[in-house]
Structure 1
Amino acid sequence: MIDPAKTDATAGADAAAKTRPRSARRKFQFVIAAAVLLCALWAGGWFWANHIATERIAAMKADFVAEGGVIGCDAESLGGFPFKFTLDCAPASLELPSRGLSASVGALEAIALLYNPGHVLASVQGPLALKAPGDLAVQANWTSLQTSIRVGTSRLKRFSAVTDDLTTTISAPADPRLPTAARAKHAELHLLQNHADATALDLAGTVDGFAATIPGAPQLPDLAAQLYATLPGALPELRDGHVDPLPAWLAAGGQVKLGQLGIDIGGFLANASGDLSVARDGVISGKVAIRVDQLEKLPDLAELLHPGSRDRVAQILVPLSAFLKPVQVDGKTWRETTLTIKNGRVSAGFIPLGRLPPLKLGNAAGVAGS
């Protein structure tokens, strides 16, 4: 005998079972349709942005050519779909005959991240051939050269450049004081917006295995150096995509908050920190705390730089040692003192140590004072 209650229950279960797959299929179809729509919108947006980027690059080239410049790029391609834009150019070159400037590299690759506007990465392959006014010519090569730049709405956020195994040869008939060759095992430069002051520029750099050949000077031992400093007022707002920090920095007082300048050359170690200021004529003033180690190596280094200076430097070190107090830093004993710089004249206490030459600031001083 058939039980009507069981029959109704079975029929309801069958209907629910048929409804669930149909509902799940609809949800899955909706997800697929939404994903296809998003992909289509993303692809459309990428190609639209690619078109805009192509137009802007073409406009920049046209402006450069209008100034008399010449841009060379034998194998140019713009791609990177779907998450970035890439510009490849090999080899790449530019010339500006009116200013006596030309440069070429083996290859250039620039990458703009679509999901991070304002961030551009670049990789450059050597060799570099550079010619500048004054018959300055530079030949350089490296195993790796990477750069990164981040720009906010109105100011530079960060610029970084990192290179390995850099070698250069320099020809500068107009200035025989410049090195004729230089090399570095590793070098980094970072320019950052200060986190507490949007108008201040943080400067950080390091170099390892650096050596230079200077005409008429003996070969110095390899040098390693680290630098961290803050320059208040040196990060003005971008104007038409350009920024000139030097006049703005001088107008703000030319201050240098020196966090660290560390040097290791021939076993002689030195670290400096303090506050400095640079006048519009390039003259330096301020106070700097100096820590040194292996001070006995300094006369020999001075002799390499200026033959005949060994005895004089050794004589200065005798009274100077009285002002050097021992300090423990990271388990190492250093000798420390404070140097006073007044209008370029350097002294430790009442002992004069010499004079710092003024910095060459070019036209920046006049621009800052206007």
Structure 2
Amino acid sequence: MAEPSTSRKKSRFWLYLPFTLLLLGIGAWTAYWFVAKGQLDKGIDQWISEQRANGTVIEYSSKSLGGFPYRFELVVDDPVYQAAGQGRWEGEKLRLVMQPWNWQHVIAYSPGRNLVTEPGGLRQTVTLDTSSATSVSWTRDGIRRIGVQMGSATALINGESYETAGFSLNLAPRSGAEDDLMIALQWDRLTINAAPQGAEFLGDTLGPSRLIGEVRGFFPAWIRAGGDPERFHRALVQQEGGVEIAQALLDWGPLDLGMKGDIAYTNGRANGSFGIRIEDTTELRAVLEESGQLGQQENAMLTMLETSSADGGFLSFTIQDDEVRMGLVPVGTLPGPGY
């Protein structure tokens, strides 16, 4: 009778072992989460104190850190942030989400009204839906990727109104060439304040559009420009960077345009090539004619574009020392960097 008893004890051991290991794993994970939460709470409070000591304004009505067991989620109500001498940002609610196993990736949500007051007093407003988010990931060497997604958003910028749906922007350094910035931008719909003056036939709404490209030497040029977008072009020329457009598609009213190109800056001059194409020109011709803007030159250009665009082709241009040519014919000069 002893042998059956020993057999039953062994079988029960193997039966209970997985549940025991599961309970131990849950206990270990719970302990890790709460210890890590304590460290995060401490680090957040310390960072706020240091920023305030340096003259930064940080205000909020409440903040809490939760998210157990699958994430860390910092929720801040009525956040205000203003670095010394910089613009002021005010939001309704800020959520920062991070996975417990990846401390180098944060997703930020700021639904509702976001108000930015520039140092001069000018106010810019962006209102976001709950699905809109900004994602930032990094490594020890720096930023790895920045992504902005907007389900729907409205904005009032410099007195002009904008509305977008299905907007996304992804930025990342190129692997192996960390000075270069890769860009992927697209939207399903973008409504601007008004149609461009002189091109009212385009309307104020852009349909599905996309841009995929790269700015070579972006980060050194951005540092050289001091983070000022108005000085960036000049800094990029001085840095001898370049711009590559792998794919650009623009759907704007009757205009359905495509573009690709590669421009490099050497000795302060632009050199390279680009191509443009256009889809069916029937509607575009009609609105140009109706608005009285379909002259002989415009009609000839549309015909040339239409012919070159057949079978996925492009009308090609070359750039040599800032001069733009179509074949051997000069057609214009690129704007300088604003020295």
The answer to whether the superposition gives a TM-score over 0.5 is: yes
Check if 1:209 corresponds to 2:189: yes
Displacement of 1:129 in angstroms is 1.0
Q: Which residue of 2 aligns with 1:18?
A: 5
Q: Does 1:136 align with 2:114?
A: no
Distance in 2 separating the partners of 1:231 and 1:216: 27
When residues 202 and 299 of structure 1 are mapped into structure 2, their CA distance, relative to the original with a 3 A threshold, is: farther
- Asked if the contact 1:201/1:232 (under 8 Å) is kept, the reply is yes
Displacement after TM superposition at 1:27 (Å): 3.9
Residue in structure 1 matched with residue 166 of structure 2 by the alignment: 186
Match of 2:141, SS? coil
- Superposed counterparts of 1:106-145, under 5 Å: 106-143=92-129, 144-145=131-132
Q: Secondary structure at the match of 2:335?
A: coil
Using the TM superposition, name which of 154-163 and 336-345 deviates more: 336-345
Q: 1:195-231 deviations in whole A, cap 9, x for unaligned?
A: 5645533210102321222699476341232000123
The 2-side partners of 1:74 and 1:280 are apart by 54
Distance change in 2, residues 1:97/1:155 (3 Å): closer
The structure-2 alpha-carbon separation of the partners of 1:279 and 1:62, relative to structure 1 and needing over 3 Å to count, comes to farther
Equivalent position to 2:215, from 231, 254, 265: 231
The 3 A distance-change label for structure 1 pair 271 and 342 is same
Query: What pairs up with 1:192-271 in 2 under 5 angstroms?
Result: 192-195=172-175, 197-213=177-193, 217=197, 220-224=203-207, 225-234=209-218, 253-271=240-258
- Name the SS for the 1:81 alignment partner: coil
- Work out the CA distance in 1 between the residues paired with 2:236 and 2:63: 38
Cα-Cα RMSD: 3.7
Q: How does 1:260-299 map to 2 (within 5 A)?
A: 260-278=247-265, 284-295=270-281, 297=284
Residue correspondence of structure 1 range 20-169 to structure 2 within 5 A: 20-28=7-15, 30-96=17-83, 98-99=85-86, 101-143=87-129, 144-169=131-156
Deviation at 1:48, TM superposition (A): 2.2
Most deviating of 181-190 and 47-56: 47-56
Q: Which stretch of the first structure deviates more once superposed, 125-134 or 295-304?
A: 295-304
Structure 2: 5+ residue stretches without partners: 221-226
CA distance in 2, matches of 1:232, 1:167: 32
Once the two structures are TM-superposed, the CA of residue 287 in structure 1 deviates from its matched residue by 0.7
**Aligned residue in 1 for 2:327:** 349
Identity of aligned residues (%): 22
Partner letter of residue 109 of structure 1?
Answer: R
- 1:302 & 1:284 partners in 2: Cα distance? 35
Q: Which moved more, 1:211-220 or 1:136-145?
A: 211-220
CA distance in 1, matches of 2:278, 2:121: 40
Deviations 1:337-359 (A, max 9, x none): 11223454433234444444346
Is 1:327 the counterpart of 2:314? The answer is no
Q: Would you say the 8 A contact 1:284–1:358 is kept in 2?
A: no
> Counterpart in 2 of 1:175?
none
Query: Post-superposition shift, 1:33?
Result: 4.3
Distance 1:20 1:198, change over 3 A: farther
TM-score (norm 2): 0.79
Kindly indicate whether the alpha-carbon contact (under 8 Å) linking 1:87 and 1:111 is maintained by their aligned counterparts in 2: yes
Q: Which has the larger radius of gyration?
A: 1
CA distance in 1, matches of 2:123, 2:195: 16
2:132 counterpart SS class = strand
Q: Counterparts of 1:155 and 1:328 in 2: how far apart (Å)?
A: 43
Question: Unaligned 5+ residue runs, structure 1?
Answer: 1-13, 173-179, 237-242, 366-370
Q: Deviations over 1:125-157 (max 9, x none)?
A: 011111113443112213331222222232322
Distance 1:114 1:299 in 2: 58
Are the equivalent residues in 1 in contact too, given 2:217–2:239 (CA < 8 A)? yes
Residues 302 and 181 of structure 1: is their aligned pair in 2 closer, same or farther, counting only changes over 3 Å? farther
Deviation at 1:234, TM superposition (A): 3.8
Paired with 2:90 and 2:250, the residues of 1 have a C-alpha distance of 33
State the 1:78 CA deviation: 0.3
Measured in 1, the distance between the counterparts of 2:237 and 2:31 equals: 47
CA contact (8 A) 2:213 2:247 kept: yes
Report deviation, 1:85. 0.7
Q: Tell me the TM-score normalized by structure 1.
A: 0.73
- Find the aligned partners of 2:63 and 2:26 in 1 and give their Cα distance: 27
State the distance in 1 between where 2:82 and 2:309 align.
55
Q: Deviation digits for residues 32-63 of structure 1, max 9, x if unmatched?
A: 44433333322222222212222322232223
Cα displacement (A) at 1:273: 1.0
Number of matched pairs: 324
| Counterpart amino acid of residue 223 in structure 1 | L
Counterpart in 2 of 1:239? none
Q: Secondary structure of the equivalent of 2:101?
A: coil
Distance 1:299 1:338, change over 3 A: farther
